[in-house]
Structures are given as C-alpha cells and as structure tokens.
C-alpha cells in the first residue's frame, strides 16, 4: 500500500510508521513542517519511509489519486491551549479541506482522523460514540467539529478515532507534555498526583482509560484493511485505572519497593477541564468494525514501555 501520515514524526505517528514497517509497509510518505524532524530525530532514525512532505504542498499530493490510505495525526494536541487562528487552522480547517478532497475521489484513499476522548468533557458514565457531548476545552471542541463533518458524510472510507489516554515509548520530544506514565518511568521513587476537587471522586481514585500506543496502531491498521464501515470509533483499553494504580504499577515494574505517592492541589487552570473518569465503550469497535484483538493490560503496557525506553525505541 501507499500511505501518507501527517504528524508522522510525533509520538503516535512515528509509532505507527514503525508498526506499519513491522507489517511490511514501507511505501510511506510523511507530512511534517520544517523543523519538526530536527526536534524529533530520536523518533525517526529507525523508520523506513519514502518522502517528507511539507504541509504547504499537502494539497497537491492528496488531490492526485495516489494513496491507498491517509492517516491524519498532525494537530495541536494541547488540552490547555486557548483558541486562536493557528489552532483553528491546524485542527479544523486543514481537516475539512482533507475531507473535501477525499470525497471528490471515487475509490480511494481510506482516511483516518485522530480524535480524542477530550470530546467527552466532564462525562463520567456514557462513553458511547455519540455527538451530543460537551467538551470543556478548545482542543476537544475542534475534534468534535471535525467528527460532525465526518458523520454527515456516512462514508465507509472515512474514520474518526477517539483516542483515550495513549502512552508509550516515543515521547521524549514532548518533555513536560509527555504522558505521566512516560515521565514517571523516567523519574525516581516518588510520584506526585493531584488532589481531587470533586467530592464524587476521592483523591487518588480519579480514573482514566490508558491505552498503549501499539494497540492504537493496531486499530489504525485494522481500519486501513477493513474499510467497509467508516465512522466514529472509541480507541481505549475499555478499562479505567486509578492514578494510584498507575503509580503502584510503575513502582512494581521498576522494582521500587518503597515508592512514595505525594499529592498537591490541582492547578486552577485545569480544574474545569479535568476528566475524573474515562472508560472507552468498545461495543462499536468490536461489533461494527470487527476488531477482536485484546488490549494490553496496564502492567503489560508499562513493562513494554519501560523496555523500549531503555533501548531508545
């Protein structure tokens, strides 16, 4: 297959290129702005791909009927970023132009958009793939706007995947924005968590659905080769784990017997956006898309992440 990946040098993008290489796919073009590959070189050196395309020339490449699949992962993924013109362009306008180009083509490509569990906002129970959700930050809003455009089309070749808390090894370039699991695996014997600001969720018992990036890549690959049922799908493990469980699992994997969990007040800037409980409903992924593979357990995923960090993967 000939594949185009936007954001292909980022965390999920570079992991996907590596996964596709493992599956025998090397005819891959990567869309990244100049300067990104200098800062993300540690994600790049072991990847097998063909060409780097600047976003300035993106439309010229997509307008021709040359790709079997386009995976759009490039976006501003900050959940605390305020709305501005550049974020609107990156997260909404660019995606809408891509949708328009794809729908003008008769047979291909399959297109996969990265969405996020941020669209669920303060929801704590109903994580089905509905559109009557209320994001609490601009990032989630931009993802929901693209989802609504995709849902209107009812096109079997266009997918929108709601990623939950993705973690893995290729996050070094993200620094303080890397997932807590990545940062804590690279830290010491003390882990700091937020105090709860919600009386329904005791401190230490706020829960998230953590999904390993390899499982995310597996779902994307499944969509590429099983494109008869496009639409919106959750991509999570289907299990919610508390932050204390994550911390204790990291201590166990690292062989730390007397790890310390500390607590601090949640910053005012994130209190209204904070998600206290997320857990992907996988019914649609299983029944409609036919994805049967089991997701990694938290401990298995953390072990793999630790091993691959150690070998600079």
pLDDT tens sequence across 16-66: 999 999 999 999 999 888 777 677 888 888 999 999 888 776 665 565 568
Residue range 214-271, pLDDT digits in tens: 999 999 999 999 888 899 999 999 999 999 999 999 999 999 999 999 999 999 988 9
Confidence of residue 3 (pLDDT cuts 50, 70, 90): very high
pLDDT given at position 85? 45
Q: Which domain holds residue 64?
A: 3-166+211-236+279-296
For residue 18, tell me if it sits in a domain: yes
Token readout for 10 is: 């980022």
* CA separation for the pair 115, 238 (Å, rounded): 17
- The enclosing domain of 94 has a CATH number of 3.40.50.720
**What pTM does this model have?**
0.93
Peptide bond into 156 cis (omega under 30): no
Residue 75 has pLDDT above 70, yes or no: no
Q: Is there a domain that residue 139 lies in?
A: yes
In this predicted structure, the answer to whether residue 313 has a pLDDT above a threshold of 80 is no
Whether 175 is in a domain gets the answer: no
Catalytic sites, residue numbers: 139, 174
Q: By CB neighbour count within 10 A (0-12 exposed, 13-18 middle, 19+ buried), where does 41 fall?
A: exposed
Confidence of residue 80 (pLDDT cuts 50, 70, 90): very low
Contact status, residue 170 vs residue 11, Cβ threshold 8 Å: yes
| Residue 313 structure tokens | 């993967």
Could you tell me the two tokens for 13? 């993008």
Domain-embedded: residue 182: no
Confidence tier at 176 by pLDDT (50, 70, 90):
confident
Residue 77 is assigned to a structural domain of this protein? yes
Instruction: Assess whether pLDDT exceeds 90 at residue 175.
Output: no
> For 194-219, how does the pLDDT look when each residue is reduced to its tens digit (9 = 90+)?
999 999 999 988 999 999 999 999 99
Q: Has residue 193 been placed in a domain?
A: no
Q: Name 308's Cβ contacts closer than 8 Å, sequence gap at least 6.
A: 168, 169
Tens of pLDDT along 286-304?
999 999 999 999 999 999 9
Exposed/middle/buried for residue 265 (C-beta within 10 Å: 0-12, 13-18, 19+):
exposed
pLDDT at 306: 95
Q: Is position 24 within any domain? A: yes
Number of structural domains (the chain) is 1
- Within-domain flag for 261: no
């Amino acid at each position: 297959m000939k594949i185009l990946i936007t954001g292909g040098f980022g965390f999920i993008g570079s992991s996907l290129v590596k996964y596709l290489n493992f599956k025998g796919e090397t005819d891959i073009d990567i869309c990244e702005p100049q300067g990104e590959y200098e800062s993300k070189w540690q994600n790049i050196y072991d990847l097998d791909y063909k060409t780097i395309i600047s976003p300035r020339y993106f439309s010229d490449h997509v307008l021709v009927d040359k790709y079997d699949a386009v995976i759009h992962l490039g976006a501003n993924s900050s959940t605390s970023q305020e709305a501005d013109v550049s974020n609107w362009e990156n997260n909404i306008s660019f995606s809408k132009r891509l949708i328009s180009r794809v729908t003008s083509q008769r047979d291909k490509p399959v297109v996969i958009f990265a969405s996020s569990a941020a669209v669920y906002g303060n929801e704590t129970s109903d994580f089905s793939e509905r559109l009557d959700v209320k994001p609490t930050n601009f990032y989630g809003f931009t993802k929901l706007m693209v989802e609504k455009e995709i849902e209107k089309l009812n096109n079997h070749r266009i997918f929108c995947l709601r990623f939950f808390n993705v973690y893995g090894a290729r996050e070094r370039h993200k620094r303080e924005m890397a997932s807590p699991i990545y940062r804590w695996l690279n830290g010491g014997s003390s882990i700091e968590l937020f105090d709860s600001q919600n009386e329904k969720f005791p401190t230490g018992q706020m829960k998230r659905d953590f999904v390993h990036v390899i499982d995310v890549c597996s779902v994307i690959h499944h969509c590429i080769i099983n494109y008869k049922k496009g639409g919106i799908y959750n991509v999570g493990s289907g299990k919610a784990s508390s932050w204390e469980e994550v911390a204790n699992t990291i201590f166990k994997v690292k062989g730390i017997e007397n790890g310390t969990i500390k607590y601090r007040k949640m910053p005012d800037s994130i209190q209204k956006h904070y998600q206290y409980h997320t857990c992907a409903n996988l019914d649609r992924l299983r029944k409609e898309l036919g994805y049967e593979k089991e997701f990694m357990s938290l401990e298995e995923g953390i072990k793999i992440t630790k091993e691959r960090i150690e070998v600079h993967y």
